[in-house]
Amino acid sequence: MRIMPCGDTALLLEVGSLPEVMSLHASLSAAGLPGLLDLVPAARTVLVRFDPQAVSAAGIRRRVERVSHLPEISGRWDTGGRELVEIAVRYDGPDLEAVGELTGLGAAGVVAAHTNQMWTVAFGGFSPGFGYLVGTDHRLHVRRRDTPRTSVPAGSVGLAGEFSGVYPRSSPGGWQLIGQTDAPLWDVDRDPPALLRPGVRVRFREPA
């Protein structure tokens, strides 16, 4: 793990893989570090924001180093006991048939694979409320569309690479769209505003 200063009030922790990021983020979240203000995971990094009035940069660095050696950061992460969100999806996306062909699962097989596994929010990005979700079924790893759409409707559920995600608002995008949900992904009147936050587990289901 590389630890780099990021201004006067943050450290940037760089590791070798996304599972390591998720394990490190979970460990630091549970550690209750004095002076910690925020943790922001990304694909290969975790940003650690701290209060310099409560802890020095050297002090938070020592605590981060101790915590990072407590768990075995080995490409696995524990999702047990964490918040679970269920999202109802109408699997009628314009790319569902194409994804069925790309994966060899057929449309019905894609729906079954998407709903029969637990997803975990690895990190957020792209737009407020957008979570990059990783699962355990590698059969759903598909490339992005060759030609991105100029407008993707809010609530669209998609696949791209190793990730699944839900568009919180209408925006351009190149993900393979397999369904649609009415779940409010971002609500400024909710605390916290984002429904899908790093570490949250997600289960997709078809409407009853």
Residues 121-159: pLDDT tens digits? 999 998 999 999 999 999 999 999 999 999 999 999 999
Higher pLDDT, 118 or 74: 118
Mean pLDDT across the stretch 180-189?
95
Radius of gyration of the chain (CA): 18
Q: How many CA atoms lie within 13 A of 15 on its CB side?
A: 21
How many C-beta atoms lie closer than 10 Å to residue 18's C-beta? 20
> Phi, psi (5° rounding) for residue 104?
80, 10
**Ranges 71-80, 148-157, 180-189: which has the least confidence:** 71-80
Distance CA 115, CA 146 (A): 26
pLDDT at residue 83 in the model = 87
The answer to whether the beta carbons of residues 23 and 46 sit under 8 Å apart is no
Residue 78 has pLDDT above 80, yes or no: no
**pTM, whole model, 2 decimals?**
0.89
d(C-alpha 206, C-alpha 181), whole Å: 10
**Same CATH fold, 84-205 and 2-69?**
no
* CATH of span 2-69: 3.30.1360.40
Superfamily of domain 84-205, CATH level 4? Cyclophilin-like (2.40.100.10)
**What does the domain layout of the chain look like in residue ranges?**
2-69, 84-205
Count CA atoms within 13 Å of residue 83 on its CB side. Answer: 9
